[in-house]
Amino acid sequence: MRKTFAVVAALAIAAPLAAQQQAGKAADPTNKVKGSGTLPAGWQMRYDPPRGSQPVPATNEINFVTMGPGFHFTTGPAAIYYNPKDVASGEYSVTATFSQRKSLGHEAFGIFIGGKNLQDSTQTYTYLAVKPCRSRGDCKEAGAVLGEVLVNQRTSNGPPTALLETMHHDAAVNVDDPNDGHATNKLTIHVAKDTVHFIVNDKLVAAFPKSKVPTDGQAGIRINHNIDVHVDWKGVTK
């Protein structure tokens, strides 16, 4: 009898939790974007691994185009983007400037280094991301911290779990303009002899011993879902 009661109680708890999780997904759907299905010359992409039984999105579910001296991204599902010419080792820097014309809500974007096996289940890379949301209303999250920075590692097809610097507020982030939501943020990862520096708008936001951060490999851009942003990609410089 006690076992029966325990099972019923567990199911009673699980059902509302499952409903809340489904409601959470429904509250943050991925925008429908009609792209060309092609990428700028030399560039490749990899969508974040689908959750559960969801299919891998088609290439035309994002729009990634050359625009002026940079690139413009309109998404669609979250993904990484990279050009094989941006493979680096030793000491180097990777820099990109992201310009948004309107608030991106609670979404984030960034750059990555040390990419390996990016098209299979053993993919690895380390990324610096910022979330420029200006207000809790814009972030759509109760109690959200404003102007956030994250340094994280993906080490498989599972969710990134190797946090180096958890998502937290940093005054270095330029947040959404209160009138029209525009913002510009320059991100740099500088690999020195013994240390890896993570820099936002020319201000150091985190640093780690090089022994903790795999740095040799592919560099590129990370764009979350539902993003509309222009990127001035400087790539790898020595």
3-state class (DSSP) for residue 17 = helix
How far apart (Å, rounded) are the C-alpha atoms in residues 149 and 156?
Answer: 22
Residue in the structure block whose two tokens are 């413009």: 72
- Whether residues 94 and 20 share a domain: the answer is no
How far apart (Å, rounded) are the C-alpha atoms in residues 188 and 195?
Answer: 14
- Whether residues 13 and 130 share a domain: the answer is no
**For 123-147, what is each residue's pLDDT tens digit?**
999 999 999 986 555 565 555 557 9
- Whether residues 49 and 11 share a domain: the answer is no
Q: What is the 3-state secondary structure (H, E, C) of 93-110?
A: EEEEEEEECCCCCCCCEE
Q: Which comes out higher in pLDDT, residue 95 or 55?
A: 95
Residue 50 sits in a domain whose CATH number is: 2.60.120.560
Give how many domains the chain has, as a whole number. Answer: 2
Dihedral-angle region of residue 37 (phi above 0 means left; psi in -120 to 50 means alpha; beta otherwise): left
Q: Are strands 79-88 and 92-100 parallel, antiparallel or unpaired?
A: unpaired
Whether 223 has a pLDDT exceeding 70, the answer reads yes
In which domain, by residue range, is 82 found? 33-237
Q: What is the mean pLDDT of residues 43-61?
A: 88
Query: pTM score, two decimals?
Result: 0.86
pLDDT of residue 149: 94
Tokens of 148: 């956030």
pLDDT of residue 160: 86
Q: Which comes out higher in pLDDT, residue 15 or 190?
A: 190
Residue in the structure block whose two tokens are 């096996």: 117
Whether 19 has a pLDDT exceeding 50, the answer reads no
- Whether residues 125 and 21 share a domain: the answer is no
DSSP string, 109-145: EEEEEEEESTTSTT-EEEEEEEE---SHHHHTSTTPP
Closest CA to 218 of 119, 136, 149, 101: 119
pLDDT of residue 134: 67
Q: Which amino acid appears at position 110 of this protein?
A: G
How long is the chain? Answer: 238
- Whether residues 134 and 176 share a domain: the answer is yes
